[in-house]
Amino acid sequence: MKSKTLLILSVVLGLQSGSLWAGSFPGAISRDSLVVADSLNRLSVGVDFEAIKRDIVVGDAEAAGTLEARSIDGFFGVDVTSWLSPFFTLGASSALDPNSDEYGDYKFKWSAGVNLNIWHYDIVSPDFLSGRLSIESMVEYASYASENVGNDGNDMEWTDLTVILPVCYEMFEDISPIADKSLRTSLNLYVGPALSVVDGTFLANDATFSEDQQFGFIGGADIFLAEKVSIGAHVLVFDQASVTGTIRYHF
């Protein structure tokens, strides 16, 4: 009886093991696909981490306040041409309660925009100044939200329309014509004017708020670990400074 029980258990375990291997072992699955992409070289993906700090004006009485928030999102872009790239982001945001110094609950955040490369010039001489000088632009409309902010559990929603026009200077580690460009590293520095228009609402009492200052500037840097892989950070300064960190991969 004992040996018969052991035999039954062995068969059951063997069947379960076989079903697990059949469901998870990739070597048992065909490598062909229904659709095959010949190239993804127009696409770019990434991740953004944003720490927002802006002086705001609240309500008709124009009471002074501060909007402090943070967000994380995924970035998706496509090159329509070599100089025009629409993009969108999807993620979540949370606002800080200034009285308790605690963040509210995260809610959905999204944005859409376009990058437009306006002009560039390649500096080849002298060698120590060699690089690419360019003028670029970006327009982005972003929608943020946060709930249960503060002891009153107030919910917030706000939008931010941002326009920037930075001057960029990219320095390449190796500009030799025989160098492998896919592995070429570089440092891209940029600075320029910025415009930001904020429109928000505290949902508990329908109080509205807007930016205290529309015009400022942006400054930042991108480090290209290879031609298509970069990490970067930039600062948007209006009345106060908002900081964003980015990771990008261009197919």
201 occurs within a structural domain? yes
245 occurs within a structural domain? yes
pLDDT means over runs of 10, the chain (251 residues): 48 46 57 82 97 93 88 98 97 92 95 98 88 97 94 89 98 68 85 98 91 97 95 97 98 93
Q: Which residue has the tokens 């944003």?
A: 50
pLDDT of the residue at 13: 47
Provide the token pair at 153: 């559990």
pLDDT of the residue at 121: 97
pLDDT of the residue at 69: 98
56 occurs within a structural domain? yes
Q: Is 89 exposed, middle or buried (0-12, 13-18, 19+ CB in 10 A)?
A: buried
pLDDT of the residue at 242: 98
Handedness of CA 9, 12, 15, 17 (dihedral sign): negative
53 occurs within a structural domain? yes
109 occurs within a structural domain? yes
**Residue 110 CB partners (closer than 8 Å, separation 6+):** 73, 88, 89, 90, 91, 142, 143
46 occurs within a structural domain? yes
- Closest to 218 in 3D by CA, of 247, 246, 176: 246
- Rounded Cα–Cα distance for residues 60 and 209 (Å): 9
pLDDT of the residue at 154: 86
10 occurs within a structural domain? no
Contact indicator for 242, 236 with CB cutoff of 8 Å: yes
pLDDT of the residue at 32: 80
pLDDT of the residue at 134: 98
| Domain count across the chain | 1
67 occurs within a structural domain? yes
Domain boundaries, position 63:
38-250
